Amino acid sequence: MADRSPRLVNDASPSPSPSPSVRRIVGTLARLAVWIATAAMGALAITQAFGVTGIPVVFVLQALTPFLLAPAIPLATIAALAGWHRMALVNVGVAAALLWLSAPLAIHDQPVPATAGATSVTVAHANTYYRTDRPELAAATLLALDVDVLAITEYSWQFGHAFDEAGGAQRYPYEAVRSPGDRNGIALFSRYPIVDSIITPIGQAMAIDATVVVDGSPLRLVVVHPLPGTNTASLDTWERDLRAIDDAVDPDPATILFGDFNATRWHPAFRDLLDEGWLDVHESLGRGWSMSWPTDVVGPPFVRIDHALLGEDVSVGRVRDLDVPGSDHRAFVIDVALPAAG
């Protein structure tokens, strides 16, 4: 009798492997993509090496330098393993540039130790956004800090009204204020006497240059706000403003230069300013990787453009950052000390 049981027939045939020509195309495209990424990172590293910004797109890319150059490290490894020696060498150079730029965040001057009998002062800065829709909350948040000196950039009449209504005028009897209704609004409030102050552009950036007397010790406070380079003309103005600040303000013994610089450590013009002898508060306290902008997007802020720079006789013990309702910047508070008067 015939065997009628079913038989299993394997009709599956092995899937064809990619042909050599396909593999070559894929490999060529992969290598091209890596070369394009390498060339872009190399170009950015060159702008840093020569200290040029030039055009707005470079201004933006330089602000993001650590994120944009970091891929050079794995790409150097991949290229070396693939035998792409020239590509590996270029990526090693880019990685070295990143390490050179980042080194000051790890190897930096330490804060000046406070001397015996030093006078302590708390100083804060906040960009409150000139079109804020929550001036009352912003005013309450900043008054709750109970600092001795408060500087505001993008100061608006809406914030000023809310600040006064919340008791700011009583808390701070001394002030220097300018509110033109745009991003150039600027203000300084102090518990201590302001013995000298001027509100004037440094370059084209509005600034306050004031001296307060703290228990007999003078402290120069320079609040600045150079506007960002959003096009070629404004970028040129921004660079000239940073140079003007560099020329106008020296790191004299008892000086704090602070505000919204619209600049990161990764911008050559700002590094030139730091190289004049200023101590960056966040960096000196190991907070150089902290970020202050923007706070009005999904995710954490990704650049620091708000800075406090100290002269040689000002010591700093602590810095803290905080969110301000209605603003796209984080504010900061620093605890500093001045040599005793005498």
* Tens-digit pLDDT profile for residues 162-199: 999 999 999 999 999 999 999 999 999 999 999 999 99
Domain boundaries, the chain: 20-106, 119-338
**Would you state the pLDDT for residue 298?**
85
Length of the chain: 342
Q: Which of 254, 322, 325, 266 is nearest to 296 (CA)?
A: 325
| Amino acid making up residue 320 | R
What architecture does CATH give domain 119-338?
A: 4-Layer Sandwich (3.60)
Residue 153 has pLDDT above 90, yes or no: yes
Residue 7 has pLDDT above 60, yes or no: no
Residue 18 has pLDDT above 80, yes or no: no
With cut-offs at 50, 70 and 90, classify the pLDDT of residue 250: very high
Q: 240 — phi, psi (to 5°)? A: -65, -35
Residue 253 has pLDDT above 70, yes or no: yes
User: Residues 101-138: pLDDT tens digits?
Assistant: 999 998 877 777 777 778 999 999 999 999 999 999 99
User: Residues 48-60: pLDDT tens digits?
Assistant: 999 999 999 999 9
